[in-house]
Amino acid sequence: MEYSHTLGSVRHSFASLSHLLACATPFRSGDALAGLAAASAEQRAAAQFALADVPLRRFLEEQVVPYEMDEVTRLIVDTHDAEAFATVASLTVGEFRDWLLSDDATAERIGSLSPGLTPEMVAAVSKLMRVQDLIQVASRVHVVTRFRTTVGLAGRLSTRLQPNHPADDATGIAASIVDGLLLGSGDAVIGINPVSDNPATVTHLLQMIEGVRERYSIPAQSCVLAHITTQIKAIEQGAPLDLLFQSIAGTEAANASFGINIALLQEGHEAAQALQRGGVCADGLVGSNVMYFETGQGSALSANAHRGTGGRGVDQQTLEARAYAVARHFDPMLVNTVVGFIGPEYLYDGKQIMRAALEDHFCGKLLGLPMGCDICYTNHAEADQDDMDALLTLLGAAGINYIMGVPGADDVMLNYQSTSFHDALYVRRILGLQPAPEFEAWLKGSGFARLSREMASNTGALDGMLERLLPA
């Protein structure tokens, strides 16, 4: 179907919904790379006018990626909750934005609407929103998940302790874990990106975290972010696996490039749930959210898997939102966009990274996901620590569930900059945020005191102490 908007004597027309969505997207380098960006600033504005007039119902009739060729589309369509959608069924995209900003849009109402929203609807409305809109609406939504900690409660900000080491050295990783714990990090997950993708490494590192956790009675969960098939093998070999990780994207073809599909995620989800390793959380509920997903704008394009209806490319922000449809199917504990990791060909500078992160957080929350963000950049992007400080503060205000905690913000394995333990302390302090309730109690209790005491004891004991943390 064609969409159009007339400005003066010029009629701007858009051949399809995906064409319209792409042209209405605030500029970013990835869409330009794909040849999808608006040809002029005026065309972008016209597209936004036209998009504002599109009925939300239209998104149920016209798919940006065909149902027949893509299992992500099938998941979106087949699991759509028409009853939940009924409350906004008569609205256009522009009216939906107005409603989201109104006092009618309470946390409860947005929460019950969520299963009725498709990723494309949410992506569309985000394209009409300014940064403050993305923050204000997202801040109303609290998506709470539990494993051994409760993440996502109002007034809380959690962190993933990311203690990576360039050679998977267990002692080196343990040193980073201890440093992070002493600085109050790790209540979302202690999650290692391994260099080596094999079950033995995964098992060894999980055992090491298990040892630390038990020694100091830490309410936290572990994860080693290998490929899902590797983690499933580790489970089969008896690894103490808490959260099961996988990178996901918004098209079947992009997921295939990651070596996954929905059936494989389902298999992994069942295997991880069967372990029943969740704990009793602060409110008495047993934690049962076991999946951890990472996403990021541009991943489909980078795999040349960004095409949809009519072979036409779909913009990277819309495809990112579609990845969230995959995620929400598995009630994940954690989902984060790794926003600046992908590089300048997709998000060129601090400004593009900032907007993308806020869009991702907004879209994820609206779709009912426990969104976190790896606030990050690479050394070939036009960005620096000042950009990350600004984004961290904005996401804190938007109510982000968790951020990363990387020693000194410098990941020495993945070679990029994220947020440090100290950055989390900064944002918790200026916004009055606390860690997860179970972890907060731990920081005040004997486990943390014991860790501090052991670290403060005689210097020579440090080697021995780290050794004791390692599995036999």
Residue 216 interacting with other proteins (CB under 8 A): no
Contact by Cβ (8 Å): 368, 328: yes
Query: Tell me, what amino acid is at 440?
Result: E
Q: How many residues bind other proteins (CB under 8 A)?
A: 80
Which of 105, 122, 141, 175 binds other proteins (CB under 8 A)? It is 175
Residue 402 interacting with other proteins (CB under 8 A): no
Q: Give the Cα separation of 227 and 216 in Å (integer).
A: 29
In whole angstroms, how large is the CA radius of gyration of the chain?
Answer: 22
Contacts with other proteins in 350-389 (CB under 8 A)?
378-380, 384-385
Residue 306 interacting with other proteins (CB under 8 A): no
Q: Least Å distance between CB 307 and other proteins?
A: 14
Q: Give the Cα separation of 187 and 402 in Å (integer).
A: 9
The 3-state DSSP class for residue 418 equals: coil
Closer to other proteins by CB, 52 or 177: give it: 177
Residue 455 interacting with other proteins (CB under 8 A): yes
Closer to other proteins by CB, 119 or 180: give it: 180
Residue 169 interacting with other proteins (CB under 8 A): yes
- Both tokens assigned to 410: 């410098």
Residue 30, CB-side half-sphere exposure with 13 Å CA sphere: 33
Residue 203 interacting with other proteins (CB under 8 A): no
Closer to other proteins by CB, 144 or 256: give it: 256
Which of 87, 198, 207, 393 binds other proteins (CB under 8 A)? It is 198
Which of 164, 221, 337, 352 binds other proteins (CB under 8 A)? It is 164
Q: Give the Cα separation of 325 and 117 in Å (integer).
A: 10
Q: What angle do CA 257, 261, 262 make, to 5 degrees?
A: 150
Contact by Cβ (8 Å): 231, 450: no
Q: Give the Cα separation of 302 and 78 in Å (integer).
A: 28
Contacts with other proteins in 8-67 (CB under 8 A)?
29, 33
Burial class (CB in 10 A: 0-12, 13-18, 19+), 95: middle
Region near other proteins per CB under 8 A, out of 84-92, 112-120, 175-183, 210-218:
175-183
- Both tokens assigned to 150: 């409760």
Residues 6+ apart with CB under 8 A from 198: 226, 230
Which of 43, 126, 222, 230 binds other proteins (CB under 8 A)? It is 230
Which of 100, 416, 419, 447 binds other proteins (CB under 8 A)? It is 416
Residue 197 interacting with other proteins (CB under 8 A): yes
Distance of CA 395 to the CA centre of its chain: 12
Q: Give the Cα separation of 300 and 319 in Å (integer).
A: 7
Q: Give the Cα separation of 266 and 319 in Å (integer).
A: 21
Which of 100, 113, 174, 225 binds other proteins (CB under 8 A)? It is 174
Contacts with other proteins in 64-93 (CB under 8 A)?
none
Residue 348 interacting with other proteins (CB under 8 A): yes
Q: Least Å distance between CB 256 and other proteins?
A: 7
Residue 183 interacting with other proteins (CB under 8 A): yes
Beta bridge partners of 453: none
The 3-state DSSP class for residue 182 equals: helix
Q: Least Å distance between CB 306 and other proteins?
A: 12
Which of 45, 69, 144, 182 binds other proteins (CB under 8 A)? It is 182
Residue 393 interacting with other proteins (CB under 8 A): no
Residue 268 interacting with other proteins (CB under 8 A): no
Residue 236 interacting with other proteins (CB under 8 A): no
Which of 282, 303, 390, 470 binds other proteins (CB under 8 A)? It is 303
Closer to other proteins by CB, 52 or 403: give it: 403
Contacts with other proteins in 424-443 (CB under 8 A)?
424-426, 428-429, 432, 434-435, 440, 443
Region near other proteins per CB under 8 A, out of 146-154, 229-237, 328-336, 358-366:
229-237
Stated as kind and residue range, the H or E segment containing 295 is strand 291-295
CA dihedral of 130, 132, 137, 139, whole degrees rounded to 10: 150
